[in-house]
Copies of this chain bind each other. A is one copy, B any other.
Amino acid sequence: MIPIITAFEQSPDRGKGQARDMRVRWALEEVGQPYDVRLVSFREMKEPAHRAVQPFGQIPTYEEGDLALFESGAIVFHIAESHAGLLPDDPHARARATAWMFAAVSTIEPPIVEREQVRYAEGDKPWYADRLPILEDRIRVRLDDLSARLGDAEWLDGAFSAGDLLMVMVLRRLEGIGMLEEYPSLSAYVARGKARPAYQRAFAAQLAVFTAASTG
């Protein structure tokens, strides 16, 4: 049974791989699971057929026979639970990897998304310039703690796990604004993630959607 994921028909970031399907593609590549992709337009995402699987009208979704899932964190977890390679066998180490998955999407990602969001939604407001440093300092509070915990380690807790996969993807959202560069150990951590062959296959696959659309 080949799972089918959804992704944006038109890449909002021009193939930079910041959309959340990239997390799922990477996880599937790590475990060696082939997959199909169904591209959806921004209009289709908000229609009842898509919302039946994704109540918030977003991508990605994951369909595998009778199973239909949403939330990239939960999809990555399902892939990690169903295949070897993304979660340790030891139950305690497995629970700690899960903690890093939740930390990535509920502790580190929200202030990063907030900064992106106000740029789009409030970039023309008179308060934008005054608020930007406040938002960036909130991100730094988290990055300070994360880099302190990572220290000189290669990954967050032993071997590469689904927790690292989500954390690398969340930190990648800072690319291009110069903030990740303030933390050399976190920059190197993200670079290690991106150097993985599975990451590179996933990145190429999502880029191909954009290049095909832009030349088609």
Contacts and interface: CB of A to CB of B under 8 A. Distances in A.
Nearest to A105: B106
B74 A102 contact: yes
Interface string A76-115: 0110000000000000100110110111011101100110
A154 interface: no
Contacts of A72: 102
Chain A interface mostly: helix
Contact of A71 (B106, B114, B146): B106
A70 B113 CA distance: 22
Interface of A: 51, 55-57, 66-75, 77-78, 92, 95-96, 98-99, 101-103, 105-107, 109-110, 113-114, 121-122, 125-127, 130-131, 134, 142, 145-146, 148-149
Going nearest first, the 10 A-B pairs with the smallest beta carbon separation are A127-B127, A74-B99, A71-B102, A55-B149, A110-B110, A73-B102, A105-B106, A74-B102, A71-B99, A67-B92
